[in-house]
Structure 1
Amino acid sequence: MTRQIRFNAFDMNCVAHQSSGLWRHPRDQSWRYKDLTYWTELAKLLERGTFDGIFIADVLGTYDVYGGTNEAAIRHGAQVPVGDPLMLVSAMAFVTEHLGFGVTAGTAYEHPYPFARRMSTLDHLTKGRVGWNVVTGYLPSAARNMGNDDQLEHDARYDHADEYLEVLYKLWEGSWEDDAVQRNRETGVFTDPTKVHEIGHYGTHFTVPGIHISEPSPQRTPVIYQAGASGRGIAFAAGNAEAIFVAAPTKEVLKATVKKIRDAIEAAGRDRYAAKIYTLLTIITDETPEKAQAKYEDYLSYASEEGALVFMSGWMGVDLSEYELDEPVGNVKSNAIQSVVTNFQASAADGGDWTVGDIGRHGAIGGLGPFIVGSGAQIADQLQEWVEETDVDGFNLAYAITPGTFEDVVEFVIPELRKRGVYPEEYVEGTLRQKLHGRGDRLPEEHKGASYRYLAQPAS
């Protein structure tokens, strides 16, 4: 059977997301992020393209490593201002029937008890089309604004997240039995209280003695998304994730990453394909190779080098404002910078000695992920190669401009993929979990969360 290619759209409730400066482009509509019709129109477009879903990123702090302040981030609109991703979902779900919604929310700054209700509510309202991207946080500015001196140490954040998930699994999976809600007009019983159970959680970080205050939603537990390439992050994903987002500069790096993740999932007692893996990518395409290249050069003329360096500084923990734009990359005292250069050189035609300015220039389109430029047929060729050679399931597509980048993918790339029989013609019926994995609406038995289901005790 021909391996099917899957798409997610990568967006954020802000301006430009990862493509710094391109909010200035006359065709970019990201400035409409405050307008609900922007999101409903985008949702309908993505459903027309049979995207698995839209993955909405989020941050609770500002990028303030560059120059030691957040002034450059604010000036360039580098993920600030930013709105709440969860608020968008109901409207997008109302105008679509199949599109999934992966929303980002951190485990560090919201108690799991009210969060459980928020996600159950969305799962009800979307008829089971919601997923949660679990993040532990990475911006120190967010920690400070929540009353902390800094974030927890990296592995400690995952230890905290482990208990956070434990509380949620107990609430979502174990508190209400499937037949607890009876709506019996004759007896006057809406819910049988003997079928609703307190979870009695008393842990290191959380105390949650009572019941989940929402009835079971179509999926109970939303589809669990995760992005984290560290050893601790992969271990966390191996036990919990059903969809995993990665970023890799080359097919060789991606192949090794995918294998490492699948091996970890299998070691956790799950099928090695129990999670769909999507890699970050930006596609710039048009009717012909020449038009696609012209489009790329047009986008590049609006790119903000400084805005991109704001992101790079935050992601790498290196203040790149301390270096001149023509400074050779080799003079930057950071090992992290080398992987970034490898990333961009894999996407760009030019090699040679890279400067700090080159990093800003190339990082301004698509952020840390690679980008590819070409006609629909050329893009399809490359996507098939990536899937066949790396064992990745699909692509998390960032945009250069929105919705233009997504419109181009739908117009030029998807028809070519469908013609080759490697992209779905229509959606599978059912919840997001069923659409992704075809094993039903609820967590499979081997998933960690399934062990928290309520098991009725036999009568004595």
Structure 2
Amino acid sequence: MTKQIRLNAFAMNCVAHQSPGLWTHPRDRTLDYNRLPYWLDLAKALERGRFDGLFLADVLGVYDVFGNSPDAALRNAAQTPANEPLMLIPAMAAVTQNLGFGVTSNLSFEPPYPFARRMSTLDHLTDGRVGWNVVTGYLDSAARGAGKDRQTAHDDRYDIADEYMELVYKLWEGSWEDDAVLRDRARGIFADPSKVHRIVHEGTNYKLNAIHLSEPSPQRTPVLYQAGTSPRGRKFAAQHAECVFMSGPSAKIIGPRVAAIRALAQEIGRNPAEILMFSMMTIILGRTEAEAKAKYADYRAHIATEGALALMSGWMGVDFSTYDLDQKVRHVQNDAGRTALDNVTRADPDRVWTVREVVEHVGIGGAGPVVVGTPEKVADDIEAWFEQTDVDGLNVAFATSPGDFEDIADMLVPELTKRGRYKSEYAKGTLREKLFGTGSARLTEQHPASRYRHAGKGG
């Protein structure tokens, strides 16, 4: 059976997101990121294109590694300012019926007890269309904003995250039994107290003694996304994730990462098919090849080099203000995100990148490939990418928004649908049911969260 192509839109509650400088293009509307009409129009365009979801990135902290200052990020709106992403979701859910919402929240700075309630609330308000992208952070500026001198060491952050996940699983899955809520007007009883359980947790990093404040939501645990592909990140993904987002410039880099996570999942007893792999890609469309190439050239003229360098420095933990543009990028070990630096230093031993080449690559859409052409040509390229990498979907970045997403909905989606590679309509149910078609809104029994359910309850 031919694998269906899944699409997430990749955005952030900020200006331009991963295309620094493109906010100056007349087609781009991200200057209105702080007003609801922009987000409502984007959500409606994505639902018209039957996108599986809107994946909202987020970062706590400012990109101040470049020049040891936030000035470049501020001048170029390099993900600064960045507003809170979760507050957008109820408004977008109100104007859509099927679009999912994967939202990034950094567990390093979110106490688990109120966070678990916040996600349950979103799951209720969206009728079960919410997912959580689990991240541990990579900016020292975020740690300083939370009262720490620097962020916790890279692998230690994942050890803390494992315990955090155990605690939120206990709250989401184990505090309220499935039939605890009665809503019995005749007897005046809302919930059966004997079926609501106190969670007592005393661990290395967290201590809690409380019941979950929210009644069970449609999915209980939101769909779990994870975006780290370092060795420790892959281990975490294999244990917890249902959807893994990865970025890399070529199929040669993405393919082995997909295979590694699937193999790890199988080793620990999870079904690899229960983890969907999404890789980042930017798509520039035209009715003709000439039109598409002209659009791409026009976009490239708006790239802000300093803004790209500010993003790169933050992602990689390397101050590129000290580098010449033609200097080669070499690997260093630090506590920033490992994947971004590996992409241009170690992942492909046959290629060594200069700073200038990295700027040119990340200037449109970030660290993924950019595919340019007619709907037919782009569909061919996407099908080849799927064959070469074994991914399940694309996390589609943009140069301009919502225009590039509208192009995909109006030009590319009809072509993929015609080829039988894209759904003709949304599946019914929650986000988890739409993605996996299991007939259940709940995590499967193979997932580690299931062990915290009460006997005889679940799925």
Query: Which AA in structure 2 matches 1:413?
Result: L
For structure 2, list consecutive stretches of 5 or more residues without a partner in the other structure.
Answer: 334-339
Aligned to 1:120: 120
* Distance in 2 between residues matched to 1:112 and 1:390, nearest whole Å: 35
SS in 1 for 2:235: helix
**Structure 1 position 362, deviation (Å):** 3.0
- Identify the residue that residue 374 of structure 2 maps to in structure 1: 375
User: Among the aligned pairs, what percent are the same residue?
Assistant: 55
Match of 1:359 in 2: 358
1:374 is matched by which residue type in structure 2?
A: G
What stretches of structure 1 of length at least 5 have no aligned partner? none
Number of the residue aligned with 1:309: 309
> What is the aligned partner in structure 2 of residue 391 from structure 1?
390
CA change 1:367–1:300 in 2 (3 A) is same
Relative distance call for 1:234 and 1:337 in structure 2 (3 A) is closer
CA distance in 2, matches of 1:342, 1:269: 30
CA contact (8 A) 1:62 1:70 kept: yes
Q: Which residue of 2 aligns with 1:435?
A: 434
Please show how residues 184-223 of structure 1 align to structure 2 within 5 Å: 184-223=184-223
Alignment of 1:94-173 (within 5 A): 94-173=94-173
Cα deviations by residue, 1:323-375 (Å, 9 ceiling, x for unpaired): 233x3326x6759768438999x9xxxx9x96533432332111111111111
- Alpha carbons of 1:340 and 1:177: their partners in 2 closer, same or farther (altered >3 Å)? same
**CA spacing shift, 1:342–1:199, aligned 2, 3 Å:** closer
1:55-89 per-position Cα deviation (integer Å, ceiling 9, x unaligned) = 00001101111111111011110001111100000
2:17 aligned with 1:13: no
Q: In structure 1, how many angstroms separate the alpha carbons of the residues matched to 2:346 and 2:171?
A: 44
The code of the aligned residue for 1:38 comes to Y
3-state secondary structure, aligned to 2:104: strand
Report how far residue 389 of structure 1 moved: 2.4
Contact in 1 for aligned 2:14/2:30 (Cα 8 Å): yes
My pick for the range that moved more, 145-154 or 8-17, is: 145-154
Cα RMSD after superposing both structures: 2.0
Instruction: State which drifts further: 289-298 or 406-415.
Output: 406-415
- Matched residue pairs, number? 450
* CA–CA separation in structure 1 for the residues paired with 2:242 and 2:209: 28
Is residue 329–residue 337 contact of structure 1 (8 Å, CA) maintained in 2? no
Alpha-carbon distance change, 377 to 342 in structure 1, aligned in 2, over 3 angstroms: farther
Shift of 1:229: 0.5
Please say if residues 49 and 414 of structure 1, whose CA atoms lie closer than 8 Å, have aligned partners that are also in contact.
yes
Q: Is the 8 A contact 1:249 1:343 kept in 2?
A: no
Residues 386 and 216 of structure 1: CA distance in aligned 2, closer, same or farther (over 3 Å):
same
In the other structure, the counterpart of 2:413 is: 414
**1:90-132 per-position Cα deviation (integer Å, ceiling 9, x unaligned):** 0110011100000000111111000010000000000000000
Letter in 2 for 1:392: V
Query: CA 1:334–1:177 in structure 2 vs 1: closer, same or farther (change >3 Å)?
Result: closer
Q: 1:304 & 1:129 partners in 2: Cα distance?
A: 35
Shift, 1:314, TM fit? 1.3
Q: How far has the Cα of 1:376 moved from its partner?
A: 0.7
Q: Which amino acid aligns with 2:344?
A: V
TM-score normalised to the size of structure 1?
A: 0.94
CA distance in structure 2 between the aligned counterparts of 1:254 and 1:97, rounded to whole angstroms: 32
Deviation at 1:248, TM superposition (A): 2.1
What one-letter code is carried by the residue in structure 2 that aligns with 1:443?
L
**Counterpart of 2:315 in structure 1: which amino acid?**
W
Partner residue of 1:40?
40
CA distance in 2, matches of 1:234, 1:87: 29
Shift of 1:207: 1.3
Alpha carbons of structure 1 residues 245 and 333: separation in structure 2 relative to 1, 3 Å = closer
| Gap change, CA 1:47 and 1:333, over 3 Å in 2 | closer
Q: Is the 8 A contact 2:371 2:378 kept in 1?
A: yes
Q: Distance in 2 between the 1:343 and 1:262 partners? A: 18
Determine if contact 1:304/1:361 at 8 Å carries over to the other structure: no
Instruction: Name the SS of the counterpart of 2:210 in structure 1.
Output: coil
What one-letter code is carried by the residue in structure 2 that aligns with 1:312? Answer: M
TM-score by length of 2: 0.94
